[in-house]
Structure 1
Amino acid sequence: MTEHNQYDENQEGTAHHQAPANDLSTFCEIAVASGNTGNVGETNLTWLALDLIEEQVGFNLRDYERPDTVKHIERLALAWERSEQFQPIEVQVVDGHCYVRDGHCRLRAARLAASRGAPIKRLPVIELKGNDQLACVRILTSNEQLKLSIIQRAHGYQRLRDFNWPDEQIASHIGMTDTHVRETLRLLLLPESIQALLEKGIIKPFLALDLWRKYGGASEQIILDAYEVRKREQAELLAKAANAGDEPLATPVQKVDQAQPAPIPEPEIRLTSRHISAPTKRIGKKLITNMTSTMTGISKLMRESAIIDANNGTISVQIPIEEYERFMSISSEVSKHRHDEPAGKPDSENDQQVLGLAS
């Protein structure tokens, strides 16, 4: 990226030791003082040349290699070439650099369109006032066209936590609940392989977290095994369709452009609780015998010692300590073999409210 913090260098009549700009007005004055009055224009908005606006490394939460991001920027570039109008890009001037804070994709698309010959010289900008913390909040709340993924949002929340923001403050600024913030941040504890599946929308956040809570590190292999099974199932379905002579499904773009057909997209794979095979332990004959014996003994003691209190709707029983301890021991052993469902309902309303709002 070209450095623009020294526009006054070697210019006659301009101080050589002028402090770097930290607001848009001063930044524009220095840009004009460089001798090229075409760098800056102003109507009701400020207009800046494309090369004056920079991206701060690591600030944007997006992954520009993601297919949906690449497609989004391409769509915006085509819109620029058609001279469509966009919202001004929000910028913040820091130490003589004019950084984009909202509109990274619009800026990249404008540069792409300009490289193809579109007559784009300058872009309208407005200044974002405030510190780096508020700039981080802005990127979390401003993705109006291409939404951030759940993992990208989690990194944004973590950035605010690093500024010592409590979860309640983060939630207040982004219009979510503090529970949503905490649960989203927990996604960063998951293995990278599972985070990658979350990014692709293959598994829902609440299901991944539920499995992580129940099985810890073993949940990674449980999820990956289920994913491999689903991929094989999809491959078998495609093979059957091909053998039956069915034409592969085509996207609208493929149907229109028959001269250069786009590659057939991979079938979407979704993992729900019914696809997850949770580990279970086989109950042995010894445990079954102990369970039967213990329950029979407890039932006999309850029948013999039960005192009914009809007024309070309760029953009092007397059980010897050794029988009680035996019952609790058997109960603990049985709980180890219990097969819990990974996540009650695949699309639990409450879980969706907590984590699904950002997906």
Structure 2
Amino acid sequence: MADKKEQRRGLGRGLSALMADVETRPQQTGNDGASRPDRVVPIERVLPNPDQPRRTFTEAQLQELADSIKTKGIIQPLLVRVNPKNVDQFEIVAGERRWRAAQMAQLHEVPVLVRDFDDTEVLEVAIIENIQRADLNAIEEAAGYRQLMFKFGHTQEKLAEALGKSRSHIANLMRLLNLPESVQEMVEQGDLSAGHARTLITAPNPEELAKTIVAKGLSVRAAEQLAKSATNPSQPKPKPEGSFKVEKDADTRALEGDLSAALSMKVSIDHKPGQEAGKLTISYDSLEQLDALCAMLSVG
């Protein structure tokens, strides 16, 4: 009974335990390398997850997967749980793309792995599966990391270890979420690469610069120079008397970046040289971000 309760604790199982359910484990595979399903069920008894974090499924990619399924079948079983509202049905935890493609391929049955997940674990595994398996753009991937951190309390270090990513990769992607929505949309649509977008994170006018980069077809290096010239114009405005703002050292800039990535909000640190005091400023872009910040500050 105690073991069962431990399994139902959601985050108590640990991210690595949930990853084991998303990934193919050696003891579950056959001679052909495919996972062995727990059972094969009629496709009409399988329903999508209503809280699926991914809402966009490209028709062309689904058709390509459907063509593959027609010839090779579904190699990786769907990860499901018994539908809490109807024990005769199953709810998809991971594998909705395969389920949709199977319908396009006119399959009558699908192989499944049945797991006993609670609602929290279902959402967590769905996010992990999207990050690991789907062809996400940089913004979608960053949003997935943010969900794992904010909803489930995971740190960048923990995510990096469990997902096989570097901490800098996760931090750099999450910084993209500090950009205006219009710039993020350009990345999602493929008009702007993640490398180009990263050069705009600290720029004062990222939307205008992004349009210039796309219009002129600038390289990442050229985009960096453009952003630097916008951030540090040749004729800077005179600083008001008594201002203690100075050129920030690398450690301060790195700390700003880490805090910005962790909060998904722009963070600025102004430290008085030679003193212990300073100022930390957190900027939010919406009331939802303000609510999230208040919730984080009020924890404990």
TM-score under structure 1 length normalisation: 0.47
The verdict on how the C-alpha distance between 1:47 and 1:225 changes in structure 2, with shifts beyond 3 A counting, is same
Q: Secondary structure at the match of 1:212?
A: coil
Judge conservation of contact 1:101–1:138 (CA < 8 Å) in 2: no
Identify the match of residue 110 of structure 1 among 102, 109, 115: 102
Letter in 1 for 2:168: T
- 2:160 equivalent to 1:171: yes
8 Å CA contact retained: 1:54, 1:99 = yes
- Tell me, yes or no, if structure 1 residue 155 matches structure 2 residue 160: no
- Code of the residue aligned with 2:70 in structure 1: it is E
Closer, same or farther: CA 191–44 of 1 in aligned 2, 3 Å: closer
Conservation of the 8 A alpha-carbon contact between 2:131 and 2:144:
no
Map of 1:124 onto structure 2: 111
What corresponds to 2:60 in structure 1? 71
SS of residue paired to 1:208? helix
**Which secondary structure does the structure 2 equivalent of 1:147 belong to?**
coil
3-state SS, counterpart of residue 227 of structure 1: helix
The reply on whether 1:99 has 2:86 as its aligned counterpart is no
In structure 2, what residue type is equivalent to 1:220? E
1:46 offset after TM fit, Å? 0.9
- 1:182 and 1:94 map into 2 onto residues whose CA distance is 36
Q: Separation in 1 of the partners of 2:132 and 2:167? A: 19
Call closer, same or farther: CA 1:88–1:74 in 2, change over 3 Å.
same
2:49 matched to which residue of 1? 56
Find out whether 1:47 has 2:11 as its counterpart: no
Structure 1 residues 72 and 44 mapped into 2: Cα distance closer, same or farther (>3 Å)? closer
Residue 138 of structure 1: how far off its partner (Å) = 3.6
For 2:159, the aligned partner's letter is: I
The TM-score normalised by the length of structure 2 is 0.55
Q: Which structure 1 segments of 5+ residues have no match?
A: 1-21, 23-42, 115-119, 231-269, 288-328, 336-359
- Equivalent-residue separation in structure 1 for 2:85 and 2:159 (angstroms): 29
Contact kept? 2:195, 2:220, Cα under 8 Å:
no
Given that 2:37 and 2:77 are in contact with CA atoms closer than 8 Å, whether structure 1 keeps it comes out as: no
- Cα drift, residue 107 of structure 1: 0.8
- Residues 8-45 of structure 1: CA deviation (Å, up to 9, x unaligned): xxxxxxxxxxxxxx9xxxxxxxxxxxxxxxxxxxx963
Look up the match of 1:221: 208
2:179 aligned to which of 185, 190, 204? 190
Q: 2:175 is matched by which residue type in structure 1?
A: R
3-state SS, counterpart of residue 95 of structure 1:
coil
* Structure with larger Rg: 1
Q: Is the 8 A contact 1:137 1:174 kept in 2?
A: no
What's the Cα RMSD here? 3.2
Q: Percent identity?
A: 21
Describe how 1:1-359 pairs up with structure 2 within 5 A.
45-61=38-54, 63-64=56-57, 69-82=58-71, 84-96=73-85, 98-114=90-106, 120-130=107-117, 131-132=121-122, 134-136=124-126, 138-140=128-130, 142-143=132-133, 146-161=134-149, 162-213=151-202, 215-216=203-204, 218-230=205-217, 271-274=219-222, 277=226, 278-279=229-230, 281=233
Secondary structure, aligned partner of 2:40: strand
Question: Displacement, 1:203?
Answer: 3.0
Which amino acid letter does the alignment assign opposite residue 220 of structure 2?
Answer: T
